């Protein structure tokens, strides 16, 4: 390292070596950047001309360059690993989405088979009772398929307490024997996915009792 070599950029002054760190803090132009990079390369190769008084500065420079290169190498490795992780995550997400859709389609295909069988029947030989039985069978199969995906029906009965979390009040209508605020009419089944309401059941609710005018006067 103490050997003296000749280089195109000429001898490096001690002040110039010390100014490298300050230059990074203050900013510098492209020419200075190129010159400083040349100095770094020369220091790493042991070809940098410097006085004995600057030996500690050069050693610190070489150590700093080594740490910088090591950190940059780690950064490149981490960046590559991150890109690979993102690529694998994207592929896994797409595969999971396709698999999920495939499962739903496979579960629906048997229902289509029932429809096909129903359409093959001779309309002149099939009674309304047979049609209703076929519809009921298809409905049962469909609900069975939905239950396999964690879907359950919300089927309130007349007289049940109204639950705003599971029921949607479509209208107010009185019904014999139904307490005010309770369900007096079921207009549509609701559905849940696990504990989450997908669609509330559509219901009518018995209105609150209205006091007569004479009672109000009293």
Q: What is the DSSP string of 87-141?
A: HHHHHHHHHHHHHHHHHHHHHHHHHHHHHHHHHTS-TTT--HHHHHHHHHHHHHH
Is 11 domain-assigned? no
Is 42 domain-assigned? no
Give tens-digit pLDDT for 125-182: 888 888 898 889 888 888 888 898 899 999 999 999 999 999 999 999 999 999 999 9
Q: What is the domain range of residue 156?
A: 151-218
pLDDT over 90 (residue 206):
yes
- Tokens 């599971």 correspond to 166
Is 104 domain-assigned? no
Is 164 domain-assigned? yes
End-to-end CA distance of the chain: 112
Is 105 domain-assigned? no
Give tens-digit pLDDT for 175-202: 999 999 999 999 999 999 999 999 999 9
* pLDDT, mean over the chain: 80
Kindly report which listed range (56-70, 175-189, 199-213) carries the lowest average pLDDT score: 56-70
Contacts of 206 (CB under 8 A, 6+ apart): 172, 173, 174, 175, 178, 179, 180, 181, 182, 183, 184
Is 119 domain-assigned? no
Residue 167 pairs in a beta bridge with 201
- CA–CA distance from 45 to each of 16, 57, 70, 83 (Å)? 18, 16, 17, 34
Contacts of 161 (CB under 8 A, 6+ apart): 181, 182, 183
**pLDDT above 90 coverage of the chain, percent:** 27
Is 81 domain-assigned? no
Give how many domains the chain has, as a whole number. 1
Q: Residue 110's pLDDT band (boundaries 50, 70, 90)?
A: confident
pLDDT over 50 (residue 52):
yes
pTM > 0.75: yes or no: no
CATH number of the domain at 180, please.
Answer: 2.30.22.10
- Tokens 């490795």 correspond to 77
Is 125 domain-assigned? no
Q: For residues 46 and 195, which has the higher predicted lDDT (pLDDT)?
A: 195
């Amino acid at each position: 390292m103490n050997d003296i070599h000749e280089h195109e950029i000429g001898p490096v002054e001690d002040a110039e070596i010390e100014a490298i760190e300050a230059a990074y803090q203050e900013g510098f132009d492209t020419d200075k950047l190129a010159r400083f990079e040349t100095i770094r390369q020369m220091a790493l190769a042991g070809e940098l001309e410097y006085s004995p008084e600057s030996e500690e500065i050069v050693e610190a420079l070489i150590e700093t360059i080594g740490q910088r290169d090591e950190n940059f190498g780690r950064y490149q490795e981490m960046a590559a690993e991150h890109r690979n992780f993102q690529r694998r995550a994207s592929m896994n997400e797409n595969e999971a989405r396709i698999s999920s859709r495939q499962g739903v389609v496979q579960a629906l295909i048997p229902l289509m088979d029932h429809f096909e069988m129903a359409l093959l029947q001779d309309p002149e030989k099939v009674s309304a009772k047979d049609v209703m039985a076929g519809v009921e069978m298809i409905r049962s199969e469909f609900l069975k398929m939905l239950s396999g995906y964690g879907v359950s029906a919300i089927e309130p009965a007349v007289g049940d307490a109204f639950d705003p979390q599971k029921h949607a009040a479509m209208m107010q209508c009185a019904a014999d024997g139904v307490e005010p605020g309770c369900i007096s009419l079921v207009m549509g089944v609701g559905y849940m996915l696990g504990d989450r309401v997908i669609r509330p059941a559509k219901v009518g609710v018995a209105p609150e009792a209205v006091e007569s005018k004479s009672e109000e006067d009293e």
